[in-house]
């Protein structure tokens, strides 16, 4: 028997539950459902990540440990009921502890912190019946000239144009309250030393609303780099000093991260969420031993958006701010 909150909705209204979707050209969120015109959502997210092994190219080697602490602030705004824009900027503090420092600044373990990359996103919803489809285009732009040649670098310092689609669907015939949503992006990355290293990125979430306020979910994020170079323990000798100094920017970095989490609506406009993720497969990457993520979202509605929301009916708590998904903020921007 379907729970009351689910039975009271029409098929179109049920789709609003998929407003669990949130943000831009970052791997942090997915946004199949756009906010109402004039509605805005602010998300603040914190992550503690620990890297124990380097994968060179696919063999896991202990070449020192990396810890990263990240805070991400994301703002999403509905231009119309179908079009939305997002902007986000992470602040990263990271440190390296190991015998193979890239630079003198890593010779002793110490946190180095700065802002990373601006992420801009524009998306437009084209389908809300059955399968929700929302294409998008976005950019990743370094906020300033930060250091990228370091184990503990806060990012790759690579400009990138991304295009793709967000998608979502309720799976009530399988299990009432079950849903799937995700995001596919193709990134056209800035060529470094004339080396092409474009990439495909896929985020996927399968979740269940156990109540109007609470949902639990399983997460997966994956990246496949098209081009780039493989990395080895002797990369400095093999490639020379110039190419080695850019190896994190042009590495053929592939990764599969899996995890789980939960989100809870404290009120119609405020929600909290958390997740844990780990790298299960990869190539030329820093393998996550774990990434713990916690965050909060706050939705701001204007009068028109509030009026439209009141006509939709329950479960407003699952609609208003459910856009935030606890996804991994990969330290190197992957």
- Under the phi-then-psi rule, with left for phi > 0, alpha for psi from -120 to 50, and beta for the rest, what region is 250? alpha
Hey, CA dihedral for 64, 291, 223, 195, is it positive or negative? negative
* C-beta separation of 31 from 295 below 8 A: no
Please list, residue by residue across 85-124, b when 16 or more beta carbons sit within 10 angstroms of its beta carbon and e when fewer do. bbbbbbebebbbeeeebbeeebeeeeebeebbbbbbbbbe
* C-beta separation of 291 from 48 below 8 A: yes
* C-beta separation of 291 from 277 below 8 A: yes
* pLDDT over 70 at 332, yes or no: no
**Structure confidence at residue 33 (pLDDT):** 83
How many CB atoms within 10 Å of residue 314? 14
Mean pLDDT taken over the chain: 83
pLDDT band at 300 (very low <50, low <70, confident <90, very high): confident
Q: What are phi and psi of 265, to 5 degrees?
A: -90, 115
* pLDDT over 80 at 242, yes or no: yes
In tens, the pLDDT along 25-36 reads: 333 344 788 888
Spell out the domain ranges in the chain.
4-319
Q: Report the distance separating Cα 38 and Cα 40, nearest Å.
A: 7
Helices then strands, each counted (H, E), the chain: 7, 14
Q: Report the distance separating Cα 48 and Cα 200, nearest Å.
A: 25
In tens, the pLDDT along 135-181 reads: 999 999 999 999 999 999 999 999 999 999 999 998 888 998 899 99
Please compute the mean of the pLDDT values over residues 212-225 and round it to a whole number: 94
**Structure confidence at residue 316 (pLDDT):** 35
For the domain made up of 4-319, the CATH class stated in words is mainly beta
In tens, the pLDDT along 62-92 reads: 999 999 999 999 999 999 999 999 999 999 9
* C-beta separation of 150 from 96 below 8 A: yes
**Structure confidence at residue 128 (pLDDT):** 84
Tell me the sheet residues that pair with 160.
140, 189
Q: Report the distance separating Cα 293 and Cα 22, nearest Å.
A: 15
**Structure confidence at residue 1 (pLDDT):** 39
In tens, the pLDDT along 99-141 reads: 989 887 787 889 999 999 999 999 999 998 888 999 999 999 9
How many CB atoms within 10 Å of residue 56? 19
Q: What would the two tokens of residue 113 be?
A: 């912190």
* pLDDT over 90 at 238, yes or no: yes
In tens, the pLDDT along 304-331 reads: 555 554 433 333 333 333 333 333 343 4
**Structure confidence at residue 268 (pLDDT):** 84
* C-beta separation of 213 from 265 below 8 A: yes
């Amino acid at each position: 028997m379907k729970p009351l909150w689910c039975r009271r909705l029409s098929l179109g209204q049920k789709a609003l539950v998929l407003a669990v979707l949130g943000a831009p050209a970052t791997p942090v969120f997915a946004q199949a459902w756009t906010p109402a015109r004039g509605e805005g959502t602010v998300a603040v997210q914190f992550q503690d990540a620990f890297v124990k092994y380097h994968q060179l190219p696919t063999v896991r080697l202990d070449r020192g440990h990396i810890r990263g602490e990240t805070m991400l602030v994301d703002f999403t705004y509905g231009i119309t009921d179908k079009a939305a824009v997002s902007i986000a900027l992470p602040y990263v503090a990271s440190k390296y502890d190991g015998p193979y420092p890239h630079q003198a600044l890593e010779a002793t373990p110490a946190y180095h912190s700065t802002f990373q990359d601006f992420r801009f996103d524009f998306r437009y919803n084209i389908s809300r019946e059955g399968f929700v489809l929302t294409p998008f285009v976005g950019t990743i732009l370094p906020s300033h000239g930060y250091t990228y040649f370091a184990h503990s670098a806060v990012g790759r310092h690579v400009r990138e144009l991304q295009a793709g689609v967000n998608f979502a669907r309720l799976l009530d015939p399988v299990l009432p309250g079950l849903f799937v949503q995700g995001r596919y992006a193709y990134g056209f990355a800035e060529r470094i030393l004339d080396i092409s290293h474009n990439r495909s990125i896929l985020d996927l979430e399968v979740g269940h609303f156990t109540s109007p306020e609470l949902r639990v979910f399983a997460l997966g994020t994956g990246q496949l780099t098209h081009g780039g170079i493989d990395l080895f323990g002797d990369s400095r000798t093999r490639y020379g000093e110039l190419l080695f100094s850019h190896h994190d920017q042009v590495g053929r970095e592939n990764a599969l991260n899996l995890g789980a989490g939960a989100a809870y609506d404290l009120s119609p406009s405020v929600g909290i969420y958390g997740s844990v993720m780990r790298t299960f497969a990869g190539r030329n990457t820093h393998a996550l031993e774990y990434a713990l993520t916690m965050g909060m979202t706050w939705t701001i509605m204007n009068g028109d958006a509030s009026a439209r929301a009141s006509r939709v009916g329950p479960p407003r708590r699952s609609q208003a701010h459910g856009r935030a998904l606890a996804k991994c903020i990969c330290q190197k921007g992957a």
